[in-house]
Amino acid sequence: MEAKGLIHELFEQQVERTPDREAVRFQGESVTYAELNRRSDALAQRLRRSGIGPDKLVGIGMERSIEMVVALYAVLKAGGAYVPLDPDYPKDRLAYMVKDSQVGLVLTQRQFSGLFDELEGDVWIADELDSVLQENGKGSDNGTARTRDGHLAYMFYTSGSTGRPKGAMNTHAAIVNRLRWLQKTFVMGENDKLLQKSPYSFDVSVWEFYWPHMCGACLVIAKPKGHLDNAYLWEIIKSEQISFVQFVPTMLQTFLSADQCEDLPFLRHVFLCGEPLTPTLNERFCSLMSAQLHNLYGPTEAAVFVTNWTSDRQPERTVIPIGTAIAENAMYVLNDRYEHVAQGETGELFISGIGLARGYAGRPDLTAERFVPNPYGGEPGARMYHTGDLGRWLQDGNLECLGRNDDQVKVRGFRIELGEICSVLEQHVGVRQAVAVVREDQPGDERICAYFIPDHVYSPSVSELRGHLQQTLPDYMIPSYFVEMETFPLTPSGKTDRKQLPSPTLSRLMIAHAFVPPETFIQKELAVIWSQFFSFDQIGVDDDFIDLGGHSLVATQILVRCGDVFGVKVSLKDMLTRGTTIRALASIIETGLLEDTDDAELNAMLGELEHLSEKEIEELLK
Ligand code: AMP
């Protein structure tokens, strides 16, 4: 197999070509290629001196920033590999990941140092170190000389069905193959800008970070949590004239539902990955945007993506393919005896080729189960990866992905093993048995729902269970609803019959306190807006957004409606931190209105509205 090179070598070659071009831009700050190289070299030297080298893992617990990019390159330049330790994750989960991956060193920022203070091993405050090194740092000591492209570049944790997350170990060769293919196929140039907005704990972020630096383009980094804020995304894509961007389909759907939605002529390529692209979304995108739309498919275990299909912009399409394998990788559709199935027949998708991960860290059993000998591979020892995805070959030679053959789900692009949620839930003393499913009671709105049979001794409250899960699971894995049951419905063979699990009766019984009706005009209007997103019979002013089953995407949509109705912009952060009830959100909106309007004018306006009936107000708002 031809040598692929190392990720940071692609960057270093570009530094030679365009040292003075802008490499990274973040919230008004920017660094050139030469500067980024110098800073990451300086940190790399320190890392090398502390023993980082081939196949040595370094944890990175930072939020989006220029220092994060410096740290990512520094670890690679030192010859090691990085493990993202997202500061948004619960401390217990981070501790598990550090222990499991055996990282001996974590690079973090001052504000997150408390998350790692009880860990064994070193914790370096990268932002402080970076400024010291900026003054004293010299060039590279060629520390990566011993690292080859078969060595590890990164390790990402994904949800694990047995209750523990698992780390997939990926090599330089695998990801460099993807980067070279991207550049050859879509040709990014020096004047292009790519928006880095995928959370760095998901492997789809990998090509975002490194591709622009192969070709002199600029990496524009979204502000922390900016990827959840639709208005911000529109603003930054327009103001920075972004030409390459990636979305998970659910987020693209939300992006295209914004009021300000219009064609962005400077946007050249939009990449989707992580979830199915639906015919409706394909059609909507093509009718609104002139950019090309690409549907990338692949799991973390195969270096981000393995296939691509570029939309042919045919609005009447009912089947959206995932395309065919990219160079030096192959896709098979096999039955359970590993035989090829006929074109059109459903089988499991298997992946082989250069993109495959080395396996799961410390889990030889699971590695052997998922990465099996490849009977169709020419090379001795060739393997193929059991994706767990079902698929079929279409007549035109493309593949179609047809969902899963197991309990792994995607919710808003997040990969989740429902078994992990159940396993943590069953560790609670008050839970005898648990089952979790994804429900779509309102079209396009998928929510995780947990059903549990309480232990005989006592029945835990919803907030207790939520608190228990929050200690170990990231927010995106916390169920929206918890339903207590006496028994689970069973199939004739005695398994839990998930299809018969009742729709969560979204009644007041699930909320610990009494219903308090909205009183003021703003509260009443908010109750109307909230009721469009929740199937509750009555929403009271003190009901918590999260208890009702809210999540960041719903919050974004509510805020868009609030902007339309009240003309006040509330940030996502404000809503999720201090505006999670109608009462609290109304008060933020009132303050916003007061800032914009003369007091007397506003009071007179609100006073008038107080006397109108709900119907009259609704009429007025139309
Ligand atoms: P992750 O490891 O988070 O990238 O998730 C990988 C899984 O996401 C795959 O095994 C598929 O189930 C799903 N997936 C990724 N890309 C696509 C796509 N383009 N279409 C359908 N499903 C996808």
For atom 6 of ligand 1, the residue with the nearest CA is 299
pLDDT beyond 70 at 512: no
330-374 confidence digits (pLDDT tens): 999 999 999 999 999 999 999 999 999 999 999 999 999 999 999
Does residue 484 sit in the same domain as residue 557? Answer: no
Does residue 494 sit in the same domain as residue 539? Answer: no
CATH number at residue 595: 1.10.1200.10
Alpha-carbon distances, residue 110 vs 30, 31, 223 (angstroms)? 21, 21, 18
Domain finish residue from 355, 388, 421: 388
Ligand 1 pocket, residue 47 CB under 6 Å: no
Are the CB atoms for 251 and 56 separated by under 8 Å?
no
Domain finish residue from 500, 533, 568: 500
For atom 10 of ligand 1, the residue with the nearest CA is 299
**Å from CA of 297 to ligand 1 middle:** 6
Q: Provide the pLDDT for residue 266.
A: 97
Judge whether 161 lies within some domain: yes
More confident residue, 622 or 459: 459
Looking from the CA of residue 272, the nearest atom of ligand 1 is 19
Cα distance between residue 514 and residue 268, in whole Å? 52
pLDDT (mean) for 304-311: 98
Does residue 91 sit in the same domain as residue 50? Answer: yes
Pocket test for ligand 1, best of 275, 282, 420 (most atoms within 8 A of CB): 275
Cα distance between residue 618 and residue 622, in whole Å? 6
**Å from CA of 300 to ligand 1 middle:** 9
Pocket test for ligand 1, best of 410, 420, 476 (most atoms within 8 A of CB): 410
Ligand 1 pocket, residue 158 CB under 6 Å: yes
Looking from the CA of residue 296, the nearest atom of ligand 1 is 19
**Å from CA of 346 to ligand 1 middle:** 17
pLDDT bin (cut points 50, 70, 90) of residue 620 is low
CATH number at residue 149: 3.40.50.12780
pLDDT (mean) for 123-127: 90
**Å from CA of 377 to ligand 1 middle:** 23
Cα distance between residue 491 and residue 144, in whole Å? 57
Q: Provide the pLDDT for residue 568.
A: 86
Judge whether 506 lies within some domain: no
Q: Which amino acid is at 195?
A: L
Using DSSP's 3-state secondary structure scheme, residue 570 falls into coil
Ligand 1 pocket, residue 413 CB under 6 Å: no
Cα distance between residue 189 and residue 177, in whole Å? 19
Q: Which amino acid is at 237?
A: I
Q: Check residue 298 and give left, alpha or beta (phi > 0: left; psi -120 to 50: alpha).
A: left
Cα distance between residue 58 and residue 75, in whole Å? 7
Looking from the CA of residue 388, the nearest atom of ligand 1 is 10
Are the CB atoms for 400 and 391 separated by under 8 Å?
yes
**Å from CA of 453 to ligand 1 middle:** 32
Looking from the CA of residue 168, the nearest atom of ligand 1 is 2
Using DSSP's 3-state secondary structure scheme, residue 238 falls into helix
**Å from CA of 98 to ligand 1 middle:** 26
Are the CB atoms for 213 and 10 separated by under 8 Å?
yes
Mean confidence (pLDDT) of the chain = 90
For atom 21 of ligand 1, the residue with the nearest CA is 276
Does residue 442 sit in the same domain as residue 571? Answer: no
**Å from CA of 413 to ligand 1 middle:** 8
Judge whether 167 lies within some domain: yes
559-600 confidence digits (pLDDT tens): 888 888 888 888 888 888 899 999 999 999 988 877 765 555
pLDDT beyond 90 at 8: yes
Residue 60 exposure: Cα atoms within 13 Å on the Cβ side? 28
Ligand 1 pocket, residue 300 CB under 6 Å: yes
pLDDT bin (cut points 50, 70, 90) of residue 508 is very low
Ligand 1 pocket, residue 295 CB under 6 Å: yes
For atom 8 of ligand 1, the residue with the nearest CA is 274
**Å from CA of 614 to ligand 1 middle:** 46
Does residue 142 sit in the same domain as residue 18? Answer: yes
Pocket test for ligand 1, best of 389, 404, 406 (most atoms within 8 A of CB): 389
pLDDT bin (cut points 50, 70, 90) of residue 532 is confident
The structure tokens listed for 609 are 């509205």
101-123 confidence digits (pLDDT tens): 999 899 999 999 999 988 878 99
Looking from the CA of residue 295, the nearest atom of ligand 1 is 19
Does residue 361 sit in the same domain as residue 414? Answer: no
Range ranked top by mean pLDDT from 1-15, 123-137, 406-420: 406-420
Does residue 107 sit in the same domain as residue 225? Answer: yes
The count of structural domains within the chain is 3
590-601 confidence digits (pLDDT tens): 888 777 655 555
pLDDT (mean) for 87-111: 94
Cα distance between residue 123 and residue 120, in whole Å? 9
Judge whether 329 lies within some domain: yes
Judge whether 323 lies within some domain: yes
Ligand 1 pocket, residue 246 CB under 6 Å: no
- Cβ count within 10 A of residue 125: 16
Range ranked top by mean pLDDT from 97-101, 131-135, 498-502: 97-101
Cα distance between residue 94 and residue 100, in whole Å? 10
Judge whether 617 lies within some domain: yes
Ligand 1 pocket, residue 100 CB under 6 Å: no
Q: Provide the pLDDT for residue 549.
A: 79
Does residue 488 sit in the same domain as residue 561? Answer: no
CATH number at residue 466: 3.30.300.30
Ligand 1 pocket, residue 387 CB under 6 Å: yes
Cα distance between residue 556 and residue 170, in whole Å? 34
- Rg for the chain, CA atoms, rounded: 25
- Give buried/exposed letters for 134-163 (b at 16+ CB in 10 A, else e): eeebeebeebbeebbbebbbbbbbbbbbeb
DSSP state of 179: H
Domain span at 459: 409-500
Using DSSP's 3-state secondary structure scheme, residue 58 falls into strand
Q: Provide the pLDDT for residue 258.
A: 81
For atom 15 of ligand 1, the residue with the nearest CA is 274
444-457 confidence digits (pLDDT tens): 778 899 999 998 77
Does residue 69 sit in the same domain as residue 144? Answer: yes
Does residue 440 sit in the same domain as residue 558? Answer: no
Phi then psi for 306, rounded to 5 degrees?
-125, -25
For atom 1 of ligand 1, the residue with the nearest CA is 299
Does residue 319 sit in the same domain as residue 182? Answer: yes
Q: Provide the pLDDT for residue 509.
A: 45
Ligand 1 pocket, residue 275 CB under 6 Å: yes
pLDDT (mean) for 160-180: 94
Does residue 462 sit in the same domain as residue 565? Answer: no
Judge whether 105 lies within some domain: yes
Alpha-carbon distances, residue 73 vs 11, 76, 236, 329 (angstroms)? 9, 5, 25, 26
Judge whether 1 lies within some domain: no
